[in-house]
Amino acid sequence: MNAPAVKAAAASLTEGNPAPAFDMPVDGGGRVSLQGLRGKRIVLYFYPKDDTPGCTIEAKDFRDFMTDFQALNTVVVGVSKDDLESHAAFKEKYCLPFPLASDEDGAVCDAYGTWGEKSMYGKTFMGIDRATFLIDEKGIVRRIWRKVKVDNHVKDVLEAIKAL
């Protein structure tokens, strides 16, 4: 798919749409895919970079509520463009009990519309926009949170899962 077609597809991703397929390598070996998780609810959360302040807080929040997610038949998967070595170190440092998927080529970020232009301190650059997608057991996107603010986000996600 060419870049304009990817942008158009991602821009049109809305709640109620089928989730874009994904198949990515994860820390510790193995892969995670939409097809492989069929029958479970999925929280697919995109974050900019391993071991940075906001990303660490978000990951630790998901970690701290993991038993709640498990009780609701929900798998949490973190996604960034960091490599598997970076993911493994981040996961070990903070005892994260969920897979961190590496989207080094950015295909999944493009499909979900989380890759775009950002700015900080007057400089413009390309990066991952923090976003979370709640996917049901049949692969349908049930909730989308874009431009996520970390505070209380995980609690909001849990409430949305309970409401399904």
| Structure token digits, residue 53 | 């302040």
Catalytic residue among 26, 37, 55, 77: 55
Closest to 139 (Cα-Cα) out of 43, 35, 44, 45: 35
Q: How many CB atoms lie within 10 A of CB 150?
A: 17
Return the exposure string of 109-133: e unless at least 16 CB atoms fall within 10 Å of the residue's CB, then b. Answer: bbbbbbbeeeeeeeeeeebbbbbbb
Backbone angles phi, psi at 151, to 5 degrees: -55, 125
Helix or strand holding residue 102 (H, E): strand 100-102
Based on the residue annotation, tell me whether 55 is a catalytic residue of this protein: yes
Instruction: Tokens 């198949």: give the residue.
Output: 23
Residues with a known catalytic role: 55
